Structure 1
Amino acid sequence: MFTGIIETFGIIENIREEGDNRHFTLKSPITHELKIDQSVAHNGVCLTVVAIEGDTYTVTAIKETLSKTNLGQWKTGQKVNLERAMKLGDRLDGHIVQGHTDQTGTCTEIREAAGSWYFTFEYDPGYNNITIEKGSITINGVSLTVVDSKDNSFSVAIIPYTYEHTNFHEFEVGTTVNLEFDVIGKYVARIEALRR
């Protein structure tokens, strides 16, 4: 489990394919604190550390993960949001995040607003995921509050700290992001679907 509060960045140093799997080696200031078999959220995707060497570590993504997230588009030199799993007893500063991307979305608008930014995203409503006004959403692993919720789109307001300390500052119109919808909302949507 995660909270959606990003700790730091990782920089992709190497990408290696092996069958349908893809191995990503990242350099990060937290590498020395990691352990083999530890779960770390990468742009909101929970991946297992499989190797550590110096200040780099490696994680592996399988075909399923590559097809349902933006990991298949990753390139060397790219910044990735990192968060280690929450510790029992710590404060939950964001919201409950599983590290399981539900689907991807596309950035459709970026608007500056006197020191902050509004980002708008569209997603395929065919997966039956929903947002609600002032509800929670995770974008590339970042816990955020939904504004302007619609059937297949929503916006979020980004403060300067979040803009600088996550990869939001690299987003452009057309950027593909990982979306994890609020776990409570997913259960409500499932119950409603079963009632029909």
Structure 2
Amino acid sequence: MFTGLIQAVGRLESREVRGGDQRLRFAFGSLPAHDIELGESIAVSGCCLTVVAYDARGFDADVSNESLALTTLGSLPPGAAVNLERSLLPTTRLGGHLVSGHVDGLGTVDKVWDDGRSQRWRFGAPRAVLRYVAAKGSIAVDGVSLTVNAVDEAGFEVNLVPHTVAHTAFGETAVGAAVNLEVDTIARYVERLLATREESA
């Protein structure tokens, strides 16, 4: 599990085809990694990946065809900026919201404009994702925990404060770019509970 509070901006260094899927290598950037371990999870732009090799500069992760096809990981070019977050500990402050690192769908950056010192971002999203999005609720965009300001049938809007733009890959994200979306886990469970109640009625 993750909090959606990004710890560093890393870079995709390389991709290697291995037995039909791919091994990706990411530079740590400023990610605190002195105590990293094989097998631990790191969220890469919202995608939970397992560390299969590492050194002082970065780490490798094997990525399945499913993840390559359903997230932005399949189309990232070498050098692309990625948001990095190590998995939370029992002592971690939960400043964002609970994020699993399991992407629900892809969205697009539709529009960005200034809103005071902040920036207002509009994302297009599929209806299958938008059904779980509510104003003032939480959503993870490329792994970043954000509060939804407005939502309609085609997308949703958020505000990014200067700190978020400066300390995540949003600073290099352009209009038209694809982004990974993960809805609030609680919304999924509420829907499932309601469906179960209707089935038993």
* Paired letter, 2:80: Q
Unaligned runs of 5+ in 2: none
CA contact (8 A) 2:42 2:51 kept: yes
Q: What aligned pairs does 1:38-53 form with structure 2 within 5 A after superposition?
A: 38-53=40-55
- Report the alpha carbon displacement of residue 67 of structure 1 after superposing the two structures with TM: 1.4
Distance 2:175 2:57 in 1: 33
- Report the alpha carbon displacement of residue 140 of structure 1 after superposing the two structures with TM: 0.4
* Paired letter, 1:119: W
Of the structure 1 ranges 69-78 and 185-194, higher mean CA displacement relative to structure 2 is found in: 185-194
Distance 1:93 1:127 in 2: 23
Q: TM-score, normalised by structure 2?
A: 0.91
* Paired letter, 1:15: R
CA contact (8 A) 2:10 2:26 kept: yes
CA contact (8 A) 1:15 1:75 kept: no
Aligned residue pair count: 196
Distance 1:92 1:53 in 2: 28
Q: Please name the residue that 1:19 is paired with.
A: 19
Distance 2:35 2:9 in 1: 14
Q: What SS does the corresponding residue of 1:132 show, helix, strand or coil? A: coil
Unaligned runs of 5+ in 1: none
Q: Identity rate of aligned residues, in percent? A: 36
CA contact (8 A) 2:6 2:84 kept: yes
Q: Please name the residue that 2:5 is paired with.
A: 5
Distance 2:61 2:33 in 1: 12
- Report the alpha carbon displacement of residue 2 of structure 1 after superposing the two structures with TM: 0.4
- Report the alpha carbon displacement of residue 56 of structure 1 after superposing the two structures with TM: 2.2
Of the structure 1 ranges 163-172 and 19-28, higher mean CA displacement relative to structure 2 is found in: 19-28
- Report the alpha carbon displacement of residue 10 of structure 1 after superposing the two structures with TM: 1.3
* Paired letter, 1:123: A
Q: Please name the residue that 1:149 is paired with.
A: 151
CA contact (8 A) 1:128 1:189 kept: no
Q: What CA RMSD, in Å, does the superposition of the two structures yield over aligned residues?
A: 1.7
- Report the alpha carbon displacement of residue 115 of structure 1 after superposing the two structures with TM: 1.3
Post-superposition CA distance 1:117-160 (Å, at most 9, x none): 01111111145742111000000000010011113310110000
Post-superposition CA distance 1:54-111 (Å, at most 9, x none): 3121011101111111111111111110000000032111001111111110111111
Q: Please name the residue that 2:179 is paired with.
A: 177
Q: Please name the residue that 1:33 is paired with.
A: 35
Distance 2:152 2:73 in 1: 26
* Paired letter, 1:5: L
* Paired letter, 1:118: R
Q: TM-score, normalised by structure 1?
A: 0.93
CA contact (8 A) 1:131 1:150 kept: no
Of the structure 1 ranges 19-28 and 111-120, higher mean CA displacement relative to structure 2 is found in: 19-28
